[in-house]
Structure 1
Amino acid sequence: MKCHLILFMLISFLSFAQESQTDHSYYDSVNLQVGYQFSFEGPNERNYHLLEIGVNKLHYGGRHGGGFQYGIGSEIGLNTEDFLLGPKIGGVIYYQFVVLGSELVTYTNFDSWTLRYVPIIGLGGNGYSLTIKPQVILTNKNFNPINKVSVQLSASIPLWKEKTDR
């Protein structure tokens, strides 16, 4: 009995070190989104590099680290033949380390344009993501300023953050 009591006390004292120190609160934030996109696998013979910049609103938190974001932005071609601009609107859902979402992007060189639906799947969280973005061409299939698949690394820089009640 004495041995069981000592064992019980030791286990009880060890459990104090297991108290949670993490923040399970919920937050709303407005972020500056910056990213680099590598476009490959498509009709063009070369790979393209794009810069992403935008503003998004993010709601995240909780025990499992889920959240969602939506926002607007633009993709700018860094090594395209002509100046390329891609205004876009999109949304993403995060759950632990999984990222799922979609975007609508209109690429233009100011002579021609194409509208593309872009599903998003990858790894990340509320401040960063590494995603694969296949593109579905909706209009003007002859205008191919970039390739059909890209990999993107992006980060969200908080401009404003507020604790919320869920």
Structure 2
Amino acid sequence: MTRLFSVLFFLFYGCMFPQLKFDTLSPRRLKTTVTPAILVGYHYAGDAKDNTETFRASQMHIIEVVFAKIIEYGGNHGAAKVYYVGSDFIFNNRYDFFMAPKIGVSSSAGIALGAEVQFQTNFEKVIPRVMPYFGFGGGGGKLTVGYNFRLLKAENFPINTLQIGITWPIKRFKEKTI
């Protein structure tokens, strides 16, 4: 019983008083930085749009390359906001190659939330889509799960809807402190 009480006490104490006193007096407390960066990511989508497609035919491997503006709000427990523009390069087992130029925004403070507008194309037709996503992230990097929603009523271009992925900044340029 005393062990259970000790464990519950430390668990409660850690939840209620997680920060140390010097944490709030940190010189990084009010520091906000803006950093241009290049982000690269890999996403995977394996769900079939309908039951006529096989799992193997519907697999998609997506390489993401974007230019981003990362705004980090300082402190030891800071947050980040990312605006980006770029493209997805999509390899599909059934329909070969297509791409998706996109623009998006995300915010993260441990939990990442964001959305992007994509214009998926096979160079013959263009399908606009919006993809909200959520996951874990910070400092411009993220591990997310997203779902593509179509913006046109009729479309005959089969695109997977659910995807998981990871994105990370590979090159940061000169940061500016605000």
Q: Same fold by TM (over 0.5)?
A: yes
Q: 2:78 aligns with which of 44, 65, 90?
A: 65
Q: Which residue of 1 aligns with 2:133?
A: 120
How far 1:123 sits from its partner (Å)? Answer: 0.3
| SS in structure 1 at match of 2:96 | coil
Q: Which residue of 2 aligns with 1:91?
A: 105
Report which stretch shifted further, 35-44 or 68-77: 35-44
* CA 1:72–1:98: 2 relative to 1, 3 Å: same
Counterparts of 2:157 and 2:114 in 1: how far apart (Å)? 25
What's the Cα RMSD here? 2.1
Q: Is the 8 A contact 1:77 1:85 kept in 2?
A: yes
Q: Deviations over 1:29-58 (max 9, x none)?
A: 001010001012231432110100010101
Q: Which residue of 1 aligns with 2:148?
A: 135
Q: Show structure 1 runs of 5+ residues with no match.
A: 1-16
Q: Which residue of 1 aligns with 2:43?
A: 37
How far 1:65 sits from its partner (Å)? Answer: 1.3
Q: Is the 8 A contact 1:131 1:153 kept in 2?
A: yes
Q: Show structure 2 runs of 5+ residues with no match.
A: 1-19
Q: Which residue of 2 aligns with 1:28?
A: 34
The answer to whether 1:56 aligns with 2:100 is no
Q: Percent identity?
A: 29
Counterparts of 2:60 and 2:97 in 1: how far apart (Å)? 12
Counterparts of 2:27 and 2:167 in 1: how far apart (Å)? 25
Higher CA-based Rg: 1
Counterparts of 1:143 and 1:78 in 2: how far apart (Å)? 14
The count of corresponding residues between Structure 1 and Structure 2 is 147
Q: Deviations over 1:103-138 (max 9, x none)?
A: 000110011221101001010111421000101011
